[in-house]
Amino acid sequence: MPNTLFDRVFAPLAGQDRPLLHLADGSQISASAFAVLVARLAGALVALGVQPGDRVAVQVAKSPEALALYGATVAAGAVFLPLNTGYTAAELDYFIGNATPRVFVGDPAQAAALDPLCATHGARFMGLSGHGSGSLMDLAARQEAAFAPVDRSGADLAAILYTSGTTGRSKGAMLSHDNLLSNARVLAELWRFTDADVLLHALPIFHTHGLFVASNVSLLTGGQMVFLPGFDTEAVIAALPKSTAMMGVPTFYTRLLDDPRLTRDLVGHMRLFISGSAPLLSETHIAFEDRTGLRILERYGMTETNMNTSNPYDGERRAGTVGMALPGVEVRIMADGQEVAPGEVGVIEVRGPNVFQGYWQMPNKTAEDLRPDGWFITGDLATRDPDGYVTIVGRAKDLIITGGYNVYPKEVEELLDTLPGIAESAVIGVPHPDFGEAVFAVLARTKAMAPELDQVRAAVAASLAKFKHPKGYAVVDTLPRNTMGKVQKAELRKTHARQFTS
């Protein structure tokens, strides 16, 4: 039976003895062994009662088994729902309650907390550790080594990825088989990926970049991956001579530039470095080329659309820009209902086979952001030059992108405003040389007392994922406001712009 995404990305692995994944400990997993792992996990999901269209929520450390679970979910006709490993139990309660997954796969060490939480929402908790052990793998080991994929068309959902919302509530972006496959095909051709490539994969796989861009492109083209659990400078330096391409966030490149071992000889085997998920400073782009002789290729995408634009593989890769619209994807810059002239600022709108199906259980928000004619309003502000190169200049929704992760200020502000000594807060993004942007909190003190920052940090650590934690705080008497009483965040960004840069 046809299964659109599985048939193109995972099915070809069966029976191939070539290496597929090179692990940090020096071991390898062949394509055929990975295909068997996918089949056994798909059998395990079915044994757990997973039906076509059910959600399978996953919050686990990166591992070959975690990647295989993505393929298994697609094979079973279910909807893969990866969640950031930094989310706390309080945050997970919202996602599980909103998505109502049939199965939640999490860290076995957290079973005591997560099992009852899952039960509250009717989900079955199964364990999967970063070492590939746990109750899910025990069940998978008892399944057949082959699995007939469930029939799924291109229009059926393959994944739901949660992103930040304008009210602070996360929104579940619904992505179809066609959304994911079409984007992988375009990127593979544009970036010249083939079965001769070895992709250095140090990205997380709960995120569009690491899962649907890096993994899908590599699997689709029959290449290999150096599959690292995360970015570690020593491991990446060791892997570069064995690799041909790397996809990363700006943090990867700034950390490599800090290491004197990054030389032209070290990357002599590399043909492509790609950056995304956060703005790459022009200075980083230029410094990397000076050191290595290679120009980083920067692109632009979103959870709702995967990739939209890219600098060219052949042709000028312009520092500070995210390139041009991908083949088959339309991009326009709009203001006041009209497309703006070259060089003028407007909101990016995109249309194409990569654009998502809408927000899970949020029809009003879907109608607000996704026009009936297929144009998606991104909320990102940009300009486009006469050659078609797009430059992101800001975000209309105050979204902070730090190290590739999205943080919506209101969620952090709502917590800060409950703490002693804080009358109100304003959370902003400020430039950071490593993370692109850093979360920064400006706290207006109460008349009676000022906040104790150690207590504030402790409260934040107990309630929010680490990537949402402010990297700095400023205590003030009052927040700046305009005549309408609105906090002037633009003024705060200007005031604190050099907190982390010289």
State whether residue 270 is helix, strand or coil.
coil
Amino acid at residue number 183: N
Residues 207 and 249 occupy one common structural domain: yes
Neighbours of 11 (CB within 10 A): 15
Residue at a domain's end among 378, 395, 412: 395
> 110-118: long-range contacts at Cβ-Cβ below 8 A with a sequence spacing of 24 or more?
113/89, 114/89, 117/89, 117/92, 117/93
Residues 378 and 448 occupy one common structural domain: no
Can you name the residues that pair with 106 across neighbouring β-strands? 59, 127
Number of domains in the chain: 3
Mean confidence (pLDDT) of the chain: 93
State whether residue 380 is helix, strand or coil.
strand
Asked if 85 and 61 count as a contact pair (C-beta separation under 8 A), the reply is: yes
In a domain, 158, yes or no: no
Residue at a domain's end among 395, 415, 440: 395
0.95 surpassed by pTM:
no
Amino acid at residue number 466: K
Asked if 460 and 470 count as a contact pair (C-beta separation under 8 A), the reply is: yes
Residues 233 and 273 occupy one common structural domain: yes
In a domain, 187, yes or no: no
Q: Which domain holds residue 468?
A: 400-495
Q: Is the pLDDT of residue 336 over 80?
A: yes
Q: How confident is the model at residue 166 (pLDDT cuts 50, 70, 90)?
A: very low
Q: Which of 207, 247, 257, 249 is nearest to 225 (CA)?
A: 247
Report the CATH number at residue 430: 3.30.300.30
In a domain, 139, yes or no: yes
Residues 134 and 258 occupy one common structural domain: no
pLDDT at residue number 345: 85
Task: List for the chain the helix, strand, coil content (%; round to 5).
Answer: 30, 25, 40
Report the CATH number at residue 332: 3.40.50.12780
Among 16-30, 396-410, 481-495, where is mean pLDDT lowest? 481-495
In a domain, 304, yes or no: yes
Question: For a pLDDT cut of 70, what percent of the chain falls above it?
Answer: 97
Residues 228 and 284 occupy one common structural domain: yes
Residues 142 and 210 occupy one common structural domain: no
pLDDT at residue number 169: 75
Q: Is the pLDDT of residue 165 over 50?
A: no
In a domain, 405, yes or no: yes
Q: Is the pLDDT of residue 159 over 80?
A: yes
Q: How confident is the model at residue 482 (pLDDT cuts 50, 70, 90)?
A: low
Q: Is the pLDDT of residue 281 over 90?
A: no
pLDDT at residue number 397: 65
Q: Is the pLDDT of residue 167 over 70?
A: no
Q: Which of the 8 DSSP states describes residue 212?
A: I
Residue at a domain's end among 96, 127, 152: 152
Residues 218 and 329 occupy one common structural domain: yes
pLDDT at residue number 304: 96
Mean pLDDT of 350-362: 97
Report the run of H or E that residue 462 belongs to, with start and end. helix 453-463
Residues 139 and 60 occupy one common structural domain: yes
CA distance 199 to 223: 8
In a domain, 476, yes or no: yes
Residues 220 and 256 occupy one common structural domain: yes
In a domain, 159, yes or no: no
Report the CATH number at residue 36: 3.40.50.980
Q: How far is CA 81 from the centre of its chain?
A: 12
Asked if 49 and 55 count as a contact pair (C-beta separation under 8 A), the reply is: no
In a domain, 88, yes or no: yes
- Looking from the CA of 322 toward its CB, the CA atoms found within 13 Å total 27
Asked if 160 and 79 count as a contact pair (C-beta separation under 8 A), the reply is: yes
Residues 380 and 414 occupy one common structural domain: no
DSSP string of 22-67, one letter each residue: EETTS-EEEHHHHHHHHHHHHHHHHHTT--TT-EEEEE----HHHH
In residues, how long is the chain? Answer: 502
Asked if 196 and 209 count as a contact pair (C-beta separation under 8 A), the reply is: no
Residues 132 and 11 occupy one common structural domain: yes
Q: Please, what is the Cα angle at 346 between 341 and 351, to 5 degrees?
A: 95
Residues 389 and 453 occupy one common structural domain: no
